[in-house]
Copies of this chain bind each other. A is one copy, B any other.
């Protein structure tokens, strides 16, 4: 049985929101019902969505997951327009900081249920308190260094916070798919379950967490997320500014046809 839908539940192209009678909200990333591909519209909508989710006190637990057997698998850079235009990047900067602050400000426990590829914005995932991963899940960053752009949007801040800086730096400079088990050894993933079982396990955990009173649930989240929230507030704006300059340099290099092949291939 579901509770009455809030007005924002149907407002987003790339998020399917459902909430059960206990207040467990499932946020499913998707593109037309299949695996989610990040684009400019999503970038803008996610800011609003997570703010609304955070402000809605009817949400008692939040579960992040993806549709079609994956989390987010790719990014459509072209949808952002000319990222070397300072006005375009100003919006990316402002939204990119705000969306992470908004997820951090969800003041109830957040659980991520990750299947398949978490290849883009796994920083959203790492803002969860607990990550349950399918045994076939892989983490990767296909959106930054691999295509010639500095990983400044929170991907380093969150991976550094949860996996340690050494692992994060090597992982982001030479991105390769990272298996769920390895992510667990690194302290990022809390539990690995068979593929297809992550959402069910997340719901079990949600039911456990719901046994505590409302203020306990809310204040536990507030306390746990505070150090990461402060790091986001301190680091991600600068990171996105550095990424913007990096993206502008990539665009310039592509125009001049003298730049490294990988970068050109990656973004073209």
- Contacts from A to B (Cβ < 8 Å): 47-48, 51, 55, 57, 84-87, 89-91, 93-94, 98, 101, 105, 107, 109, 126, 129-131, 145, 148-152, 156, 160-170, 172-174, 186-191, 205, 208-216, 218-220, 222-224, 226-231, 233-235, 237-239, 241-246, 248-250, 252-253, 259-263
Contacts and interface: CB of A to CB of B under 8 A. Distances in A.
A186 B162 CA distance: 12
Contacts of A47: 55
State the majority secondary structure of interface residues on A. Answer: helix
Contacts of A169: 129-130, 190, 224
B223 A156 contact: yes
A149 B238 contact: no
14 contacts: A90-B249, A129-B173, A148-B212, A151-B220, A151-B223, A162-B165, A166-B189, A211-B263, A212-B260, A215-B245, A223-B235, A226-B235, A230-B230, A241-B244
Given A86-B246, A164-B187, A170-B129, A237 B213 contact: no
Given A109-B173, A227-B160, A90 B190 contact: no
A210 B260 contact: yes
Contact of A215 (B86, B234, B238): B86
Which are the 8 A-B pairs with shortest beta-carbon distances? A241-B241, A215-B249, A211-B262, A238-B238, A170-B190, A219-B242, A211-B260, A164-B187
Nearest to A190: B170
Contacts of A161: 165
A266 B242 CA distance: 26
Given A55-B47, A219-B150, A249 B170 contact: no
Q: Which of A131, A209, A212 lies at the interface centre, i.e. has the most chain B CB atoms within 10 A of its CB?
A: A212
Contacts of A168: 224
A260 to B, nearest CB: 4
Given A57-B91, A149-B216, A173-B130, A165 B224 contact: yes
